[in-house]
């Protein structure tokens, strides 16, 4: 049976009863899909207790309209997480996560400056701040992050280590739809026509061609390209299709083989 916790104080009381258990933690912003559920299943295998949070974090959005449009599906999320045998679901309020009105922030000054950090100023400050708060609150042995947001995964791992947090940050490979598109909560905002075109994004990213060639092809297909770059052993990219922003990455060894 999954327990739903909406108050930080209530979770702290529960956490004291779990001191003898190993805890796996999956932080999410909701609109749960198979990618999230794969993290939950791995946590269930590797830990005594699995905890998931659903919190649409306002401080990591660059545009208020993007925050407002982000899909919120709490009831279906709960059903999916129950089926995945999650033990605790934490649904915190903004006022509880930011009692200081975001006056205290977690900032990284090197890895966060490129790619996503350059395109989305302040995004990583908000993400790191809320993730470190959640890790401090849940106190898991392991926390699970999908590698679709690869720069985010690297940053969370780096900052947790720098802050001497007793947690293992586990990176899990991207889960994809049948057409190759990385699963993302934002995909729900794509129109059927745009969703069909979006599959070309994943195909071109691992095509074995140069970033410049891929950029030209994507522009011809109607994408707005923010970046495509080879870094950290991956080929990473971010594009806009209509008003939806998509990010993805693939290992460079996959690119070199031109896998489809």
Query: Tell me, what's the pLDDT at 78?
Result: 97
Task: Give the sign of the dihedral formed by CA 63, CA 224, CA 112, CA 232.
Answer: positive
Q: Report, at the CATH architecture level, how domain 3-172 is classified.
A: 3-Layer(aba) Sandwich (3.40)
Tokens read off for 213 = 């060639």
Which residues are tagged catalytic?
A: 36
Res. 257 pLDDT band, cuts 50 70 90: low
Tens of pLDDT, residues 73-86: 999 999 999 999 99
213-237 mean pLDDT: 97
What is the assigned CATH class of domain 185-251? alpha beta
Query: Domain ranges in the chain?
Result: 3-172, 185-251
Tens of pLDDT, residues 7-64: 999 999 999 999 999 999 999 999 999 999 999 999 999 999 999 999 999 999 988 8
Query: What is the spatial distance between Cα 187 and Cα 24, in angstroms, rounded to a whole number?
Result: 27
CB-based contacts of 150-154 (< 8 A; 24+ apart in sequence): 150/232, 150/234, 150/236, 150/249, 151/111, 151/112, 151/114, 151/115, 151/116, 151/117, 151/232, 151/236, 152/116, 152/124, 152/127, 154/111, 154/232
Task: Supply the pTM of this predicted model.
Answer: 0.95
- For the ranges 10-14, 21-25, 146-150, 240-244, which has the lowest average pLDDT? 240-244
Closest CA to 25 of 6, 56, 50: 50
Query: Tell me, what's the pLDDT at 186?
Result: 85
State whether residue 54 is helix, strand or coil: strand
Kindly report the number of other CB atoms within 10 A of residue 171's CB atom: 14
Query: What is the spatial distance between Cα 16 and Cα 233, in angstroms, rounded to a whole number?
Result: 41
């Amino acid at each position: 049976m999954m327990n739903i916790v909406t108050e930080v104080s209530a979770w702290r009381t529960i956490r004291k009863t779990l001191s003898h258990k190993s805890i796996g933690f999956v932080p999410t912003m909701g609109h749960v899909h198979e990618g999230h559920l794969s993290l939950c299943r791995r946590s269930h295998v590797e830990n005594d207790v699995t905890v998931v949070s659903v919190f649409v974090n306002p401080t990591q959005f660059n545009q208020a309209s993007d925050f407002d449009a982000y899909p919120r599906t709490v009831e279906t999320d709960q059903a999916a997480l129950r089926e995945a045998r999650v033990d605790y679901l934490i649904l915190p309020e903004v006022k509880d996560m930011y009692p200081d009105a975001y006056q205290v922030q977690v900032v990284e000054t090197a890895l966060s400056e490129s790619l996503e950090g350059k395109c989305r100023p302040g995004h990583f400050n908000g993400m790191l701040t809320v993730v470190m708060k959640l890790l401090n609150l849940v106190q898991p042995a392991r926390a699970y992050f999908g590698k679709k947001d690869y720069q985010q995964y690297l940053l969370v791992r780096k900052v947790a280590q720098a802050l001497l947090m007793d947690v293992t940050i586990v990176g899990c490979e991207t889960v994809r739809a049948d057409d190759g598109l990385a699963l993302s909560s934002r995909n729900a905002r794509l129109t059927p026509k745009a969703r069909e075109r979006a599959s070309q994004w994943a195909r071109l990213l691992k095509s074995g061609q140069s970033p410049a060639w891929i950029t030209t092809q994507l522009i011809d297909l109607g994408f707005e390209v923010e970046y495509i770059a080879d870094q950290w052993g991956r080929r990473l990219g971010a594009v806009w299709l209509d008003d939806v922003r998509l990010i993805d990455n693939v290992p460079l060894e996959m690119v070199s083989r031109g896998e489809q």
